[in-house]
Amino acid sequence: MRSEYDVIVIGGGPAGLAAAIKAKELGLNVLLIENREFLGGIPLQCVHPGFGIHYFKEDLTGTEFIHRIIERFRALDVEYYTNAHVLEVVPYSYRHKILRIVTEEGLFEVAARTVVYAAGARERHMFEIGITGHRVAGIYTAGEAQTMMDIYGVMPGKEIVIVGSGDVGLIMARRFTLEGAKVKAVIELMPYPGGLTRNVVQCLEDFGIPLYLSHAVTRVEGKKRVERVIVTKVDEKLRPIPGTEESIECDTVVLAAGLVPYLKVIEKAGVEIDPATRGPVVNSYLETSVPGIFVAGNALVINDLVDYVVEQGEEAAMGAYEFVKNGGLPALKWRKLVKGRNIRLAVPHYLADTKDVTIYARVGEPEENVRLRFPEIGKEIRLPFVRPSEMIRVKLKKEEIARAKDRITMEVVRDE
């Protein structure tokens, strides 16, 4: 390790690898730090296809997708450490950050002019979704179960109940079934499935796995290991309806109840957080409110497509490059991106007319035949449908951004 780098990338998943590759290509000296014993992040444990359709124009498995990225990373000879954990990022001065890193050889303090934070997301656990009962063996998050099964080759259980019908829950239901486990049910709180219809079809219907909509797992019971779960119907306000309890025998509960950007490492540095994304507030260079700390991937906003994650990694690296080259980002006139009708979240939060910007957003409610409208700059896009489970990605050109004074509203309007 040197004592100072232009950029230190935290996290060796798709966002971090893409950022490190781009930064190296731009001529910066780069260090990448990865927590686990291998590079690759989540895709390395995803054996199903559905990755890279936009980025590589091919439908790859997660493992194939990340293999291609890792090959590029290796070819550039980027310095990196695995089994290394970043404990803290201290904003020592405007132009310097100090990182405290634990590796197998001990604790190091390393300086960086910029940081790209790409530590991904953490999975929501049972206490966060209101499940009570016994703390017994046999309760896993989807990511834990996936790592056990698809990296270490150990089945998490024989009779499984999955909590959450987002794409992660659906895909895991298919994996468990193919590997010989019995998925007794997938339980979904909302009245509609969280994931794509194609995944309901090819992951549940293909195997006859029951999907309980408008139901919650309210209790887990068992002595040493899970023996059953209690599921309860919920009303329109998502409150359990007394008297509708039903018991499902199983030995394993897998929680696929959503992801939250993992910010522990940079929270203390004082980055401002957006309550809607639960990730940092960023400008169009993906810089957080702490100058020189950039963020990308699931640590910025929960993405459903790895393609966008890689794109954000590259964007953050370009931001870091501007910062290193100019000793900080220039003072710019920022336009605030304002969430209008049916926009639940949107990043980046502040836009400047110095470059084209890609906006990633999600709606609150599903709608059909709508227009996505930016009234201040007179831009409108027709969309056949919008759904909370599918991220909207839209580019604004710098000339378009320049038309706005201090705010740019983004809204979904119905066709008359």
Partner 1 sequence: MSEIKKFRLTCIVCPLGCTVEVTMEGDRITGVEGFTCPRGKDYAIQEIREPKRIVMSVVKVRGGRFPTVAVKSDRPVPKELIPAIMKKLAEVEVEAPVSVGQVIVENVLGTGANIVATREA
Residue 149 sits in the site that holds partner 1 (CB under 8 A): yes
- Should residue 197 be labelled a site residue for partner 1 when binding is judged by CB under 8 A? yes
Q: Does 67 bind partner 1 (CB under 8 A)?
A: yes
Strands 4-10 and 106-117: parallel
34 binds partner 1 (CB under 8 A): no
Site for partner 1 contains 152 (CB under 8 A): yes
Q: Which is nearer to partner 1, 168 or 200 (CB)?
A: 200
Cα distance between residue 251 and residue 108, in whole Å: 43
The stretch among 144-152, 181-189, 317-325, 395-403 that binds partner 1 (CB under 8 A) is 144-152
Please identify which residue in 1, 49, 182, 258 interacts with partner 1, judged by CB under 8 A. 49
Q: How far apart are CA 91 and CA 213, in angstroms?
A: 47
**Residue 392, interface with ligand FAD (CB under 6 A)?**
no
- Site membership for partner 1, residue 218 (CB under 8 A): no
Of the candidate spans 32-40, 229-237, 239-247, 269-277, the one that interacts with ligand FAD by CB under 6 A turns out to be 32-40
Asked if residue 44 binds partner 1 (CB under 8 A), the reply is: yes
* Segment interacting with ligand FAD, rule: CB under 6 A, options 116-124, 213-221, 368-376, 377-385: 116-124
| Angle at alpha carbon of residue 407, lines to 404 and 409, rounded to 5° | 100
Place of tokens 């909302």: 190
Q: Any contact of residue 178 with partner 1 (CB under 8 A)?
A: yes
Q: Which is nearer to ligand FAD, 36 or 68 (CB)?
A: 36
Q: Which of 141, 303, 342, 389 binds ligand FAD (CB under 6 A)?
A: 303
- Of 8, 21, 99, 142, the one binding ligand FAD by CB under 6 A: 142
Of residues 60 and 78, the one with the C-beta less far from partner 1: 60
Q: Which does 298 bind (CB under 5 to 8 A by kind): partner 1, ligand FAD, none?
A: ligand FAD
Q: Among 74, 158, 198, 336, which residue interacts with partner 1 (rule: CB under 8 A)?
A: 198
Q: Which of 106, 153, 243, 275 binds partner 1 (CB under 8 A)?
A: 153
- Partner touching 291 among partner 1, ligand FAD, none, CB below 5 to 8 Å by kind: none
User: Does the protein bind ligand FAD through residue 311 (CB under 6 A)?
Assistant: no
Interface residue with partner 1, options 25, 38, 108, 278 (CB under 8 A): 38
Catalog residues that contact partner 1 under the rule CB under 8 A: 38, 44, 47-49, 61, 63-64, 67, 149-153, 178-180, 196-198, 200-202, 206, 390
Catalog residues that contact ligand FAD under the rule CB under 6 A: 10-16, 33-36, 41-43, 46, 50-51, 85-86, 118-120, 142-143, 146, 168, 171-172, 265, 297-299, 303, 305-307, 309
